[in-house]
Amino acid sequence: MDTYVLRPATEADFPSLARLWEEVFGDGPEFTSEFFRLLWTPGCCRAAFAHGDIAAMGFCLRGPTARGAHCGYIYAMATQEAHRGRGLAAAVGRALLADAFGTGLDLVATLPAEESLNAWYESRLGMSPCFMKGGEGVSFPQSWLDFADFCGGHDPRTPQTLLAAAAPGFDLSPLLGLGWECCFD
């Protein structure tokens, strides 16, 4: 049985993170390079390792604001096929939420790649429908806008509603239905 180590990823992990990303999502090196150039910040990624090799990862990107609330965004949750079904993605996601709320973020949102994943985010990470994909409402730093331009327009096959989890004591209700433009879908 594998023993896993869950820890924040560092720049030294970029090659392993990029390989897993490209394997799971099919994006090429140009995409992952642009992501790391524009959106990487220390502490934004948690990864699970088995015998020193990456088994799962996820990113919580920081920077957006919604009516004064400081937001994070879970992106690129991925698990190597050989390690699926062991709860690694849930452990990574819970660590990302704990990190985000521990450093003062008010909420964390995500846009699952397909509707069938909504139930997973709701049951494992306590997320619920909140923002609408696209449109005005949430403000983004320039690096997010640049990466969104690189990604191109929204994919009509992805869900139209983003899910969110709130920090303890934070009320999401005033944000329900706001537009979230930079989904990178």
What is the pLDDT averaged over residues 8-34?
96
pLDDT digits over 42-90, tens only? 999 999 999 989 999 999 999 999 999 999 999 999 999 999 999 999 9
Instruction: Please report the sign of the dihedral spanned by the C-alpha atoms of residue 97, residue 100, residue 102, residue 107.
Output: negative
pTM for the structure as a whole: 0.95
Q: Where are the domains of the chain?
A: 4-180
Give me the chain's average pLDDT, please.
96
Can you give the pLDDT at residue 14? 95
User: What whole-number distance in Å separates Cα of residue 96 and Cα of residue 108?
Assistant: 9
Burial of 19 (0-12, 13-18, 19+ CB in 10 A): middle
**The domain defined by 4-180 carries CATH number 3.40.640.10:** no
